[in-house]
Structure 1
Amino acid sequence: MTKKVKGIISNQLRKKRFEKDEMTQQELAKVLGVTRQTIAAIEAGKYSPSLEVAFCLTDIFATTLDELFQWQANESESDKD
C-alpha cells in the first residue's frame, strides 16, 4: 500500500487585507487581475491560488508564503498499486 498525502490549505488573506488599509476583495482582485469571487473563494479555502497569484499576494502584502498560507497534511492509505 502507498499513502496519499492530502491536506488543507488555510490562509491569512482576509486579515492581511484589513491590515492594508482595509483593502476590499474587489480592490485586491483588480490589482491581481482576477475576479472578486476568486478572492472570496481563496479566503474561504474553497480554491487554492496558482503559484503566480500566491507570489503576487506576498508582494502586495510584503509577507512570505508561509505567513500567508498554511498547509496541514492528512495522510491516508490508498489502494494497493
Structure 2
Amino acid sequence: MEDYVENKVYEHRVLKRLSQKELADAVGVSKQTIYVMEKNNYSPSLVLAFRIAEFFNVDINHIFTYVKGCDQNEK
C-alpha cells in the first residue's frame, strides 16, 4: 500500500477539447508527461499541479486528490 495522487487531468482536457500535446505545451511539459499522468502512473510536482489547475482555472483540489495508504489496483 502506497500513497499516491489521483487526478482528473484527462476529464478536464477532454472538456476543453485539447490534445495531450496542446496541454503539455501550455503547462511546459512533454506530451509523455501528460500521458502518464492521465494514466495515474505519475504524480506531478507541486509546481506542475498548480500550473495545471491554474490553466483550467480551478482549485488544485478539484483536479488532484491525495490518497493515503491505498493500493491503486484495489480501487
Q: TM-score with structure 2 length normalisation?
A: 0.83
Misfit runs of 4+, over 4 Å: none
| Letter in structure 1 aligned against 2:49 | A
Q: Distance in 1 between matches of 2:64 and 2:35?
A: 15
For residue 17 of structure 1, the aligned residue among 13, 20, 26 is 13
| Letter in structure 2 aligned against 1:42 | M
Q: How does 1:1-81 map to 2 (within 5 A)?
A: 6-20=2-16, 22-74=17-69
Q: TM-score with structure 1 length normalisation?
A: 0.78
> Deviations for 1:23-55, whole angstroms, at most 9, x for unmatched residues?
110001111221100000111111111111111
Partner of 1:78: none
Size of the alignment, in residue pairs?
Answer: 70
CA RMSD of aligned residues (A): 1.6
Structure 1's unaligned 5+ residue stretches are 76-81
Structure richer in helix, relative to its length: 2
Measure how far apart 1:61 and its partner are.
0.5
Q: Which gives a bigger RCO, structure 1 or 2 (Cα 8 Å, sep 6+)? A: 1
| Letter in structure 1 aligned against 2:40 | G
Structure richer in strand, relative to its length: 1
Measure how far apart 1:9 and its partner are.
1.4
Q: Distance in 2 between matches of 1:66 and 1:33?
A: 21
The percentage of counterpart residues that share the same residue type is 31
